[in-house]
Each structure stands twice: as C-alpha cells, then as structure tokens.
Structure 1
Amino acid sequence: MSVRKRKWTTANGEPREAWIVDYTDGKGDRHLKTFDRKKDADAYHATVRVEVREGTHIADSETVTVKEAGGKWLESGKADGLERTTRDQRRQHLTFHIEPFLGKLRLSKLSVPVVRAFQDRLRAEPYPDDYPVVRLRGKSRSGDMIKRVTVSLGSIIADAQERGLVARNAIRDMTSRRTKGKVRKGERRQKARLQYGVDIPTRDEVRLIIENTQGRYRPLLITAIFTGLRASELRGLRWSDVDLADARLHVRQRADKYHAEKYRVDHDPIGMPKSDAGQRSVPLSPLVVNTLREWKLSCPKGKLDLVFPNSKGNIEYHANIIKRGLWPAEIAAGVVVPTGEKDKDGAPIMRAKYTGLHALRHFYASWCINRRADGGLELPGKMVQERLGHSSITMTMDVYGHLFPSTDDSDALAQAERSLLTPVSKTADAT
C-alpha cells in the first residue's frame, strides 16, 4: 500500500501529473485510485489502510449507485412483508426526492457534506409537477418531509451496508450523538404545543359534535372520542375484539389506506398495529357500550367482521369517514371556521374546524389527563401512554406533557414551606 507521484505527457504534448494510491484490499485484489493533490491522496490512503485492517473497505468499483441501491432497498421491504402503505411511501421518497438529486452517484461518494448539500437542494427546489399529491405540486418541501427523506436515504445505505456494497453510512455519521441532541432541541423549540380550540376540540365542541352526529358514522365518531383509537385502528376494528359485556375493546390490528375491494392478491389491507405497544386494551364508557350495542344490530356484515365497515361489509375509505362523517357533524354542531370565501349572497362560507380524526384522538388524550374536578380522568402519564398505544412514555410527554396539571400551585408551595420551617418539637406539641 503506497502513495506515489505519476507524470506523463498527453497526446497533445501537455505534461500532466497525479498522485496514485496503490493498495490491496482484504480480498487480495489490487486497486489504483488517482488524485490531483497529494493531500487528498494521503487522506484516502490513511482511511483505506484502517478500513482494510478492520475488514470494512469497499472499493469504488464494487459499489453501486444510489438508484441501484434504492431498488434493492424496495425489494427488501417487499420481502420483509412491509405493509403496502409503507412500501409506497418508500417508493415515493426514492422516485421523487432521492433519485433526481443523487440517483447516479455511487454510494462510496456519499459523505456528510454531500448529504447536507442534498438537504439544501430539497429545501430549495419544489415538489415536481408529476408528484402524486396534486396539492403539493410546485410547493416547497417541508422540514418534516426533508427529515423523513433523509431517514429513507439512511435506510437505503444501511441496506447496502448489509449487502457489502458500501463501508460507511453518511447519514449515521451526520447524526452523531452530539449533533442529534442539538437537532432534537431545535425541533422541540420550533414545534408548537397543541392548543385547545386549535388542535384539540374543547369539551363544549365535543359535546356539540356528539349531539349533532347522525347516521352510520355516529358510532364510529363516538368511539373515536372516548377511546382515542387511530383512524387505521377504527377501520380495522373487529367485533370479536369488542367485549360489550366487560365494557372493553382490544386493539389487535389496523387497516391501511387501501380499499379492501381493490387490493391485489399479494396484498392484505389488514395488518398489525404500528408497534407492540399499539396492541392494547381500552375501557369503554357507558355511552360507547350502548351505542355499539345498538349499532351491532344494523351493522353491515362482511367476512372481515368489521365494526365500522362500508355498506358492503368491507373496509371503509378513510376519506369517506372524514367527508361524510366528521365534517358534516362539525358543521351541524357549528364547530366551523370561515374559508375566506363568500357565497352568492355575500355570506361567508364556513368549513369544519377540525380536518382530521386525529383531533378526536388529541381530545381523548386531554380527557385522560385533565383533573377529575375539570371533567377528566386524571390518569398518570404511564397509563395515558398505554391507553394511546404509544411506544414510549417519552412520546406521550413530548406531545401532551404540557397538558398535565401543574403541581407547583402557590397554595401547595406555601403549605410545603410552612411544614418545612415549623420546628419538629412544635409540631409534636401541637399533636
């Protein structure tokens, strides 16, 4: 293994020189790599020497492009049995965000500066005109999207590492322990807390929604309000997992976003919850029990045994639940905000205030947290985590920690102060 200078003359008679790194890899194969500057050659020589000794070196000629590695990554996802939703998200990240900028680059050329430049380009350039989500076309990518694409790129490199196609993972090098701490602190500072009346429906709004919910979506919305199930969990809930006698339901599966009538032979729309913690038991309030008992008599029957199916007994579209269930209930309840437009008579056009079912999940979390004196359940944080099916208490506290009642009230502080400053002898005499 050596670094040497090479001089030659081109066909046009021009003198040239370069620095050559000559080395043998762990397999005994000889490799030559050329550099314009001795400084770069020496740096590469030092890196290769360590990698060869540790058995991690991959020569440039033995690696693949990011596009090729991405294709193998997609194949791995299918072989591992990932849900179709997850596989489609991976394909979108690769096709629309990674390949246009890094597709032709070899994995061995990926470095922290290259990844940072890639993130800058994602931030600067808009979604392409053929992006599947029409409303995002031509708009800037959000910080959250850039973060998720970066995670996918790291996953592609990790898959390639396991195949022996690259030695280092630039994404993991970039997110070292020190840097990750700074990034997370910055994200927490920028992330606004959930607010009542903005992200979380108030108690009065929920009461009005319940009073004005009608038809086949009423059981689903009431269950969502008083159990906090995710939309996918509601759509995949089976009657066999609902124990009305014991007033409890069990979350054991969820439905992906694809309709049961259109899934392919190689795709099952029903899968496991998001995590092991997602499999849980949730108690039911009397209103939910009575509503479900009545609904069971008229619920469409199907082979999937679903509690909230469509009219044919199959998985209901998520969009139908929102547009035909949640939004009409909010509008009927007067839980609306102006769209900024006016009708032909000049009156403002209103829309539903809360656009998704997750708002009802937020309400359930707040209901679990609030004091009993305020109409809540006053559950401890660990129990709230279990009810919501979060994978960790950290996730629960990061999202809902500010909703927990404060224990540093002035009265409590004054009482604790008096107790601390009162001599023990006086306390004993008083007793």
Structure 2
Amino acid sequence: MATIRKRELPSGRIVWQADYRDGGGKRRDKQFPTKKAADDFLLTARGQVRSGTHVAESQSKTIDQAAKLWLTQAEKAGRERATVARYKSTYELYVKPRFGATKLSAITTPMIQTFIDDLTGTMSASSLAKVHGALVSIFKHAVSRGHAATNPARDIQMPSATRDKARPEMPTKEELRAILKATPARWIPFIRTAMLTGMRASELRGLQWRDVDLAAGIIHVRRRVDRYNEFGPPKSEAGTRDIPISDSMVVTLKTWKAECPKGEHGLVFPNGEGNIEGHANLLHRVFWPVQITAGVTIETDKKNEDGKPIVDAKYSLHALRHAAAALFIEQGFPPKKVQTLMGHASLQMTYDVYGYLFKSEDDDRVKIAEMEAALLG
C-alpha cells in the first residue's frame, strides 16, 4: 500500500514522504518538498512497479557507472575501436562533467534539454548530435538491463542540423585538373579513383584487388580501414555498394596493378611495403604537398623569412569525395543514384549535403514551358 505523510525533519524542515513497495515487495520511501510532487512520484512509481520497470533511487546507478557498462558492452558487441573511442571521448568531455555523479533515476528530460540548449551554438550540429546520442545510448542500455525505468534523453528537441549549414568545401574542375597534373605518377591511380568514385578515404585505404572487377569496370566497396589500421565493414549498410568506373580508369588501374607493391592483404593503394597506408601519411606526404605544388592553397597568418605569407593546402581528402558527388550531379545522375554511389544511409542525407547542386525550380519551369509549347503550339 502506498501512502504520503507529512514529516518534520530534525532540522525543522517540513517534507512530504511517499512510502510504497517496489516490485520485489520491499518497502521504499522518498521525500519531497510538496505534497503534489509526492503524489506525482507515487503515480509514476505505481505504474512502473506494475510494468516491472521501477528502479528505486537507492538502487539506481550513477550516469558514470551506467556509461562504463555501456562502453564495455559496445566493445563486447564488436564495435570498431575508433567508434568506441569516439563514444568514450564524447562522454568524458561533455556528459560526465555535467551528469557523471548523478543517479539515473534523478535525471529528467528537462534536465537533459537544458544541457543540450546550453551546448547549442558552442559546437557543430553533428558534434551536438553525438553528445545527445551518447545520452540516448547510455539510458537505452540501462533500461534494457533494468538499471533505469525510462529513457529521458529520447524525446529531446534538437536544433535543426541543416539550418545555416555551410556548403561542403570542394575543389573546382580547374583545381582538380591542377591537382592531378601535379600528382606524382605513383599516386595518380589513388587520386583519380578518389576524384571519380567518391569513395571515403577509409574505403580507399581498405580497398583490395579482389574488390575491383576490371573486366566489368566495377569497384565493389565491401570494407574500410579505421584510424587504427583495422579492417571493418563500410560505415553503414548503404556503404556496401558497387561503383562503375570508365574504360580509361580501368586502364589506369590495370597498369597500376602490375606496379603496385604486394602485401598480405592485396591492397590496391598500400604503402611502399604493401601494407596499409596511414591516413596521416596520405595527407602529409601526398595530398597536401601536391596541392601546394599545384597552387591550390590558402594563405595562413604565418610569414616566412622574407615576410611573405606562408600557404597551406586548401583541401582535405574528404573534399575529393564532395567533388565526385558534384560531378555525378552535374552529369545528370538522379538523387537516388547519387545516394547509392556515395553510400549515404538515406536520400535525405544526400539532399542535406548536396541539395543545392541539383537543378532548381527555374529549370523545372523551363521544362513546363517547353511541354506547354509542344502541346499547344
């Protein structure tokens, strides 16, 4: 039987104590400053006890304890080491300082909403989504293990990820030609493949010759290599895809296959010993120097001994992926095909990133006018 009674504490403070029995029949109590708060608690607790989801506050784990269990389970489930490291970093940097010592049962949706609101504007929308995702996952794991009754992070209102979103930076056609012209012969196959397929750097680093059907002119994206040089599946289910390549690209890769350093993994773009090439090496030793040679640069705040501004490479490797998407769209590929070629998890993602590149309503108006003229003269 659940009851509410008024109590005067030794300090003289008046509280309202809610007494009830948990799912195991054990007597529990919790104190509140007002009778309404105690009533609201009992109403919720009774429902949770009936459904078998109630967790008494005295038995509740802290966010920090729950986060450790969540991260341990992520490792056991075989999540990539880089992914688990990102989870842990996000938790340690943002969630732990705010909620680490707080019990799961004490966390409410308004508390998390205030937390998200406080972070909004201090980081990118994607980073904010990762923080929110960490809280959702911690509570989801806790609920499934009986450590929490509900997931208060689930119904949080997030700021629009697309509002005022900057367009992706990518080389122009002229810059792409200049980059390719300045690329040493040894790296032309890699740069050309990146430019013309839109593959992620991790997918290019993990590409094996068995994934390249030179007879059919198709690259099968089936794996990637993470920052720790460990093989894994593509970034998402949609990342497993087939990308057609041109006859000239086939010739380039055939020639390169004969010269390519051999190694145990049969990599298409290995290092000099035939092993996995590091992402940092591709930037520092290849792509950034090539851009500087090609004059595809930006000025920095630093100056050399002559007082002239020091320049840096203008783009990251990921910019070549964006450039490939722009070329697909310019060529007239429909949005669904672009989504497939890029390995996006959804068509909405394709529109969010590249929507501005697709033909505008003005183009549609021209087509409507042409249709009308053909019909009515």
Partner of 1:188: 162
Equivalent residue, structure 2, for 1:133? none
The aligned residue for residue 168 of structure 1 is 150
Q: Which residue of 2 aligns with 1:150?
A: 132
Asked if 1:73 corresponds to 2:70, the answer is yes
Q: 2:241 and 2:235 mapped to 1: Cα distance?
A: 12
3-state DSSP of counterpart to 2:112: helix
User: Could you tell me which residue of structure 2 aligns to residue 131 of structure 1?
Assistant: none
Find the aligned partners of 2:372 and 2:112 in 1 and give their Cα distance.
55
Q: Report the Cα distance in structure 1 between the residues aligned to 2:213 and 2:155, rounded to whole angstroms.
A: 49
The CA deviation at 1:407 is 5.6
Counterpart CA distance in 2 for 1:19 and 1:411 is: 72
The yes-or-no answer on 1:360 pairing with 2:320 is yes
- The answer as to 2:17 corresponding to 1:20 is yes
Paired position in structure 1 for 2:370: 415
Could you tell me how far 1:412 is from its partner in structure 2?
3.2
Identity %: 43
* 1:237–1:251 CA contact under 8 A, matched in 2: yes
Q: Whole-Å Cα distance in 2 between the matches of residues 272 and 29 of structure 1? A: 48
Do the aligned residues in 2 keep the contact of 1:225 with 1:363 (CA within 8 Å)? yes
Q: Look up the match of 2:236.
A: 275
Per the alignment, residue 292 of structure 1 pairs with: 253
How many pairs are equivalent? 376
Aligned to 1:2: 2
Aligned partner of 2:222 in structure 1 is 252
Answer with 357-366 or 327-336: which moved more: 327-336
Given residue 289 of structure 1, which amino acid in structure 2 is its aligned partner?
V
8 Å CA contact 1:336–1:351 kept in 2: the answer is: yes
In the alignment, is the contact (CA less than 8 A) between 2:61 and 2:104 conserved in 1? yes
Structure 2 contact 303–310 (Cα < 8 Å) conserved: yes
CA–CA distance in structure 1, aligned partners of residues 225 and 130 of structure 2: 22
Instruction: Give secondary structure in 1 for the equivalent of 2:268.
Output: coil
Map residues 353-392 of structure 1 onto 2, 5 A cutoff. Answer: 353-354=314-315, 356-370=316-330, 377-392=331-346
RMSD: 2.1
Question: 1:318 is matched with which residue?
Answer: 279
Residues of 1 paired with 2:108 and 2:54: CA distance? 15
Contact 2:218 2:243 in 1 (8 A): yes
In 2, the alpha carbon distance for the partners of 1:401 and 1:7 equals 62
C-alpha distance in 2, partners of 1:403/1:341?
A: 35
- Scaled by the length of structure 1, the TM-score of the pair is 0.82
Q: Give the Å deviation of 1:358.
A: 1.1
Residue-by-residue CA offset, 1:345-399 (whole Å, 9 max, x unaligned)? 2222221111x111111111111111xxxxxx31111111111111221211221
CA distance in 2, matches of 1:417, 1:245: 46
Residue type at the aligned position of 1:232: S
Which SS does the other structure have where 1:378 is aligned?
A: coil
* AA of the residue aligned to 1:66: I
Q: Is the contact made by 1:237 and 1:254 (CA closer than 8 Å) also made in structure 2?
A: yes
> Per-residue displacement from partner, 1:79-124 (whole Å, max 9, x unpaired)?
1100010011111122222222211100001112221343356569
Structure 1 residue 221 corresponds to structure 2 residue 205: no
Gaps of 5+ in 1: 125-139, 260-268, 371-376
- Residue 213 of structure 1: CA displacement? 0.7
Shift of 1:316: 0.8
Letter in 2 for 1:2: A
**2-structure distance, mates of 1:248, 1:216:** 22
Alignment match of 1:55 (pick from 52, 56, 60): 52
